[in-house]
């Protein structure tokens, strides 16, 4: 099954609609969201079309397709309006023969990883940068940010299909190479 993996929507209705369009375009079976869904956070500028009620309605419309982990900007009050679980700090996924530890990245990241075994994937958001880095024992992957990308990187997401991760520009769907 093809997965679409994304992070850091930060309450942007504009990019939530773009995400759902990408989900349809990719014909993915499920979507993995790595946190920071509704709130923009005190360090971030307001994203384009900041509208948490609209984002809530859009995401609730695909609740049965979502697997989410909690970001540092997500809270219990968010769970009250979202129709899918968002408060787990991490999730283990076994997909295409890969063991993936999915988390937002504010508690564990490439410099302070959780206990991983040889060949595992550490999948994080949080930094707003698309990254693929060999960390020796494990590989660190980050889809970048849907709404607030940094360092002149595109608004982005990743796909996973047949054991292959691909980074995509959210607005065009074009594949690109992440930072290393």
Q: Give 43's pLDDT tier (boundaries 50, 70, 90).
A: confident
pLDDT at 68 over 90: yes
Per-chain mean pLDDT for the chain: 96
pLDDT at 14 over 90: yes
Instruction: Determine the average pLDDT of the residues in 82-97.
Output: 95
Instruction: Determine the average pLDDT of the residues in 80-92.
Output: 96
Supply the pLDDT for residue 78: 95
Write down the domain spans for the chain.
3-176
**153 contact partners, CB below 8 Å, separation of at least 6:** 128, 129, 130, 144, 145, 179
Residues 3-176: name the CATH superfamily.
Metallo-dependent phosphatases (3.60.21.10)
Instruction: Determine the average pLDDT of the residues in 34-54.
Output: 92
Distance, CA of 161 to CA of 82 (rounded, Å): 27
* H-helix segments, the chain: 13-26, 52-60, 76-81
Supply the pLDDT for residue 42: 83
Distance, CA of 14 to CA of 120 (rounded, Å): 34
Distance, CA of 58 to CA of 51 (rounded, Å): 11
131-148 per-position pLDDT tens digit: 999 999 999 999 999 999
Backbone angles phi, psi at 22, to 5 degrees: -65, -40
> Taking the complete model, does pTM exceed 0.85, yes or no?
yes
143-173 per-position pLDDT tens digit: 999 999 999 999 999 999 999 999 999 999 9
Supply the pLDDT for residue 167: 98
Q: Give 7's pLDDT tier (boundaries 50, 70, 90).
A: very high
Supply the pLDDT for residue 148: 97
């Amino acid at each position: 099954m093809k997965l679409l993996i994304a992070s850091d929507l930060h309450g942007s209705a504009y990019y939530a609609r773009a995400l759902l369009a990408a989900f349809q375009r990719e014909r993915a079976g499920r979507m993995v969201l790595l946190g920071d869904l509704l709130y923009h956070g005190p360090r971030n500028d307001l994203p384009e079309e900041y509208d948490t009620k609209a984002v809530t309605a859009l995401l609730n419309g695909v609740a049965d397709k979502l697997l989410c982990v909690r970001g540092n900007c997500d809270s219990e009050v968010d769970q009250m309006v979202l129709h899918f679980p968002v408060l787990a700090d991490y999730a283990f996924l076994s997909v295409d023969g890969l063991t993936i530890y999915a988390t937002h990245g504010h508690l564990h990241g490439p410099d302070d990883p959780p206990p991983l075994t040889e060949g595992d994937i550490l999948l994080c958001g949080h930094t707003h940068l698309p990254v693929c880095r060999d960390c020796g024992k494990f590989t660190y992957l980050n889809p970048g940010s849907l709404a607030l990308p940094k360092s002149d990187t595109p608004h982005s997401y990743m796909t996973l299909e047949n054991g292959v991760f691909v980074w995509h520009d959210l607005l065009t769907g074009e594949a690109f190479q992440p930072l290393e």
